[in-house]
Structure 1
Amino acid sequence: MPHTRLRKFNTRDTYPDQALDNDLCQAVVANGTVYLRGQVGTDFDGNLVGRDDPAAQTDQAMRNVETLLTEAGARLEDIVKITIFITRREDREPVYRTVGKWLKGVYPVSTGLMVAGLAKEEWLMEIDVIAVIPQED
C-alpha cells in the first residue's frame, strides 16, 4: 500500500452534534512525506485544553503534532510547512509565541490566516503541518 493512514476515525464520533459520516485519519504518510490533519486544542480523547486560552490550546495542538509525527517516523525538526488558522486577531501573538517555542531552530515555511471560525466554536486556533521523514544513508 503506497500510503499509511494513522489514527483512523469517523466524523460521526468526533462531531456527534453534526450529521456527518466521513472516514478520516489524523495522519497520512505518502512517499516519505507526513501530512497531518489540522490540530487544535483538544487531546486525542476529544477533551478541550485551555477554554478561551489560545496559548494553552496551541500547546496542546503542538503536543498532538509531536505525537503524530513520532508515530509516523518523523520529528518536529522534520516539519517543512505549517499553516496556522486563528479566529481572533488578538490571539496571534500568544499562538505564534507558543508555536515558536516548539519549533525553535526548525525554520519551516509558514502561512498564517485569520478565519471567521473553525469546526467548533471553542477552538481558537488550528495548525496544519507537513513534514518529510529523513532518509537513512
Structure 2
Amino acid sequence: MTRRLISSGSRFEEEIGYSRAVVDGDLVWVSGTTGYDYARMTIAEDVVAQADQAFRNIAAALAEAGASLDDVVRVLFIVPRREDWEPCWPVVKRHLGKARPTSTLIHAGLQTDAMRIEIEVTARLPK
C-alpha cells in the first residue's frame, strides 16, 4: 500500500503545509484536530461542543481512510485549561468508548485562545 494524504479542506492545511491524515500501510495518523467547523470556518465557544466537532472532523478523515473511531488505538488530548477536561469526558466516552484506545492528556496552549481542545489519534485499518 502506498502512502495516502487526506485533507479536510481546511485552509490551515494548505497554508501551513500538512495533511489532516496520512495513511501508510495499515495505520492512519490523524493530525491534531480542533473544534472548527471547516465548512463554515467557525468554532463554538463551548469546549464540549468543540470536542464533539473535533471528533466529527476526525471521524470524517478516518472514514475517507477506510476506518472509524472504533479503530482508534491511540489518542492525545491537548487542553489549555485544566477545568475544561472533565466536562469533555462524556463526549470522549461516546466517541471512543468502544475502541478504548491508549490515551494521553497534555495541558498546553493552542494556536488561538478560541481553541479549547485539540485531539490527535492513530488508528489501524480494519482487516
- Structure 1 residues 6 and 86: CA distance shift in structure 2, 3 A: same
- Aligned residues of 2:8 and 2:61 also touching (Cα < 8 A): no
Q: Which residue of 2 aligns with 1:22?
A: 16
When the two structures are aligned, how many residues end up with a matched partner? Answer: 127
What's the TM-score, normalizing by structure 1? 0.83
- Aligned residues of 1:77 and 1:106 also touching (Cα < 8 A): yes
Name stretches of at least 5 consecutive residues in structure 2 with no aligned partner. none
Bigger proportion of residues as helix: 2
Q: Which residue of 2 aligns with 1:44?
A: 38
| Bigger relative contact order, structure 1 or 2 (CA pairs below 8 A, ≥6 apart) | 2
Kindly indicate whether residue 28 of structure 2 is the aligned counterpart of residue 31 of structure 1: no
Q: Secondary structure at the match of 2:58?
A: helix
What's the TM-score, normalizing by structure 2? 0.90
Q: Shift of residue 33 of structure 1?
A: 0.3
Task: Supply the AA of the counterpart residue of 2:66.
Answer: G
Which segments of structure 1 move beyond 3 Å, counting only runs of 4 or more?
Answer: none
Name stretches of at least 5 consecutive residues in structure 1 with no aligned partner. none
- Structure number, greater radius of gyration: 1
Task: Supply the AA of the counterpart residue of 2:116.
Answer: L
Kindly indicate whether residue 87 of structure 2 is the aligned counterpart of residue 94 of structure 1: yes
Q: Identical aligned pairs, as a percentage? A: 33
What CA distance in whole angstroms lies between the structure 1 residues aligned with 2:30 and 2:24? Answer: 11
- Aligned residues of 2:80 and 2:116 also touching (Cα < 8 A): yes
Q: Secondary structure at the match of 1:38?
A: strand
- Aligned residues of 1:9 and 1:24 also touching (Cα < 8 A): no
1:33-90 deviations in Å (ceiling 9; x for gaps): 0000111110223623321x11000000000111110000001110000000001011
CA RMSD between the two structures: 2.1
Q: 1:103 aligns with which of 96, 104, 114?
A: 96
- Aligned residues of 1:42 and 1:49 also touching (Cα < 8 A): yes
What CA distance in whole angstroms lies between the structure 2 residues aligned with 1:125 and 1:21? Answer: 21
Q: Secondary structure at the match of 1:25?
A: coil
